[in-house]
């Protein structure tokens, strides 16, 4: 009996995610005036670098109730989710109900001015673990026509919080 092995392409190598990675990085560069990761000419390698970066990168779409549209491996690990579950999650669910109004106000402010530096706040993982994110940079994603099409965030520091 012959066993066939089906190797799937990593999610970060899909055309859609390669394009989204470029959008994330170009928009970040526009607001921050520096690259998020070391530049790379090959879009596939760039998408891989972003996905495997040792810090969190996530984004949501531009809907009224935004849905997460990207999470690198660090984000997936922190929130305890698979790629498929992550990208179908309303982004408001990354915060506890008590912190959602604060989060919404912050995102509205980012919509007006384009970015926010050094944000800190409480978030919650898929399995209920609470953590504080620190030094977060949030930015508005801009499409090729320079129109807002979502928002993104990145941070390197977080601390888990003991249950209340």
Question: What CATH number was assigned to the domain covering residues 11-161?
Answer: 3.30.450.20
Terminal CA-to-CA distance of the chain, rounded, Å? 56
The residues with which 141 forms a beta bridge, in sequence order, are 150
| Rounded Cα distance, 116 and 26, in Å | 16
Over residues 7-20, the pLDDT tens digits come to 588 999 999 999 99
Q: How high does pLDDT run on average in the chain?
A: 93
What residue ranges of the chain have pLDDT lower than 70?
Answer: 1-7, 163-164
pTM of the model: 0.91
pLDDT of residue 7: 56
Per-domain boundaries in the chain: 11-161
Q: What is the pLDDT of residue 5?
A: 42
Q: 115 vs 29, 33, 108, 152, 158, CA distance in Å?
A: 11, 12, 10, 9, 20
How do residues 129-148 score in pLDDT, each as one tens digit?
999 999 999 999 999 999 99
CA distance 19 to 41: 13
């Amino acid at each position: 009996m012959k066993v066939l092995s089906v190797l799937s392409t990593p999610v970060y190598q899909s055309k859609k995610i390669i394009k989204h990675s470029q959008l994330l990085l170009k928009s970040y560069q526009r607001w921050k005036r520096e690259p998020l990761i070391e530049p790379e000419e090959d879009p596939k390698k760039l998408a891989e670098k972003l996905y495997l970066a040792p810090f969190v990168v996530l984004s949501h779409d531009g809907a009224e109730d935004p849905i997460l549209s990207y999470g690198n491996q660090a984000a997936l690990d922190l929130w305890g989710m698979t790629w498929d579950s992550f990208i179908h999650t309303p982004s408001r669910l990354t915060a506890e109900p008590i912190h959602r109004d604060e989060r919404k106000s912050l995102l509205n402010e980012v919509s007006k001015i384009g970015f926010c530096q050094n944000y800190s706040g409480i978030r919650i993982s898929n399995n209920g673990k609470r953590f504080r994110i620190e030094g977060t940079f949030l930015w508005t994603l801009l499409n090729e026509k320079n129109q807002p099409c979502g928002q993104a965030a990145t941070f390197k520091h977080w601390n888990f919080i003991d249950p209340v």
